[in-house]
Amino acid sequence: MAGSVLKERSTAPLDLWMPLPTGIEADRVEAADKIIEMGNASITKPTRAGFTTSGVLAAERRRLKTLVVAPTRNILTKTVRETVEKWGGVPCDIPGHGMCKYIQELTEDDPLLKELPIPIKDRCADCEEYETCPITEIERVEHFTTVTITYSKLESVMLSSSETAEFIKEQLADVDLIILDEAHLLSFPSLPQVDFGKIITIPEKYGSLRNVRNNTSSSLKKYGTLLLTFK
């Protein structure tokens, strides 16, 4: 079983024949390594079991080109990316268009746009933010070891025929390992949800939508039940 070395951070990429760094639970990484060696597998585990981190580390040790798909960005940035960076790997993220600086400025002026899939009009390669924008990282990082993407972003890439989507598909075509985090979510359809007491601001320029909002609110109040609160 792998031991540990007396240092908090690795100065080189992990290797299958090197001991694991201090602070890593070797038993879990070794267990994840055995699962990877088995091939296709479905893992049932309790929450916070550390499988995602251990699986990523095991893949890094084997020098596998890995794709990690998760339901939220938080898992990918707080768990996967930090783990890969800390132990000498090369992470790469494929975020949604919402990470674009100019789209963020647009949605700040109109909050309703945050709920819509907004396309990027101009070519990213011509943008002054190209070298630092998270969206173009997949184009700038040539030899990543672990790439991350959410389920929703992966779906949009697979359904798109744009040049950018085709490029991303090419980059993902030769990965050695795919980790589907929280994969049980794929077994259930998206359920309709209602946010009780949510306050929604509708800009004055959306007159028709404001009328629908006002009529709905009046009807609900008339019958003694108000499910949503608008302003």
- Over residues 180-215, the pLDDT tens digits come to 998 887 777 666 665 555 556 777 888 888 887 777
**Residue range 40-52: average pLDDT?**
82
For residues 115 and 135, give the distance between their C-alpha atoms in angstroms, rounded to a whole number.
19
Virtual CA dihedral for 77, 198, 153, 89, nearest 10 degrees?
Answer: 0
Q: Where are the domains of the chain?
A: 4-183, 194-231
Element (H, E) at 229: none
For residues 202 and 53, give the distance between their C-alpha atoms in angstroms, rounded to a whole number.
42
User: How many percent of the chain have pLDDT more than 70?
Assistant: 75
pLDDT at 144 over 90: yes
**Residue range 107-115: average pLDDT?**
72
pLDDT of residue 94: 93
Burial of 54 (0-12, 13-18, 19+ CB in 10 A): buried
pLDDT of residue 102: 84
Which single residue is written with the structure tokens 């933010």?
129
Return contacts of 214-220, CB within 8 angstroms, 24+ apart.
none
For residues 34 and 206, give the distance between their C-alpha atoms in angstroms, rounded to a whole number.
57
- 145 residue type, one letter: T
pLDDT of residue 121: 65
For residues 137 and 230, give the distance between their C-alpha atoms in angstroms, rounded to a whole number.
39
The predicted-structure confidence for 117-137, as pLDDT tens digits, reads as follows 677 766 677 788 888 898 889
pTM: 0.72
Looking at per-residue confidence, does 53 or 4 come out higher? 53
Q: May I ask the CATH architecture of the domain 4-183?
A: 3-Layer(aba) Sandwich (3.40)
pLDDT at 176 over 90: yes
The predicted-structure confidence for 74-108, as pLDDT tens digits, reads as follows 888 888 998 898 888 999 999 988 888 888 887 77
Which pLDDT band holds residue 20 (cuts at 50, 70, 90)? confident
pLDDT at 61 over 60: yes
